[in-house]
Amino acid sequence: MRPEHESALAEVRVLTRQGGLRDGVLAGAAAVLQRLPRYTGVYLYALEGDELVLRAHAGRDTQHLRIPVGQGLCGLSARTKGVVVVDDVTADARYLACNVETRSEIVQPVLRGDLYLAQIDVDSDEPGAFGREDRAFLAQVALELEGLFR
């Protein structure tokens, strides 16, 4: 794991162990992640019924406050319960555009066993910004955030 990932993961661990209101902890975690190189926008959605609901974000705003399961890359992750990585969102018809600068995206589910609870959605202005190290890092962050969801 890259040193900046290790440092960010340690900060997220501190936030989740300190307690507090869920959305406040999520906002702190989003801010930590957004400081990483290439992470221009971080959006944390909770699955509520058949919609993903934005609970916290850092970086650019988004108009996508609610996303139906199955719609866009975030909805695809919720439907398949899997990680979604797109190296060039401009070439993917499933992408729900929120920022013209965004070029790549990764969506990491937050799971409890087979139950989809939430997701970490990260945008980057760089094409192909998210590799194996980012996937492994965000999987660890998702494990830390899992306890915030019932």
Tokens representing residue 2 in the block: 């890259």
Q: What value does the mean pLDDT take over residues 110-124? A: 97
Tokens representing residue 58 in the block: 């850092």
Q: What value does the mean pLDDT take over residues 124-142? A: 98
- Band (16; pLDDT cuts 50, 70, 90): very high
> Tokens 């070439």 appear where?
91
Return the pLDDT at 113: 95
Q: What value does the mean pLDDT take over residues 96-122? A: 94
Is it the case that residue 83 has pLDDT exceeding 80?
A: yes
Residue 73: exposure state from Cβ atoms within 10 A (0-12, 13-18, ≥19):
buried
AA letter at 141 = V
Question: Nearest CA to 29 among 120, 133, 135, 147?
Answer: 120
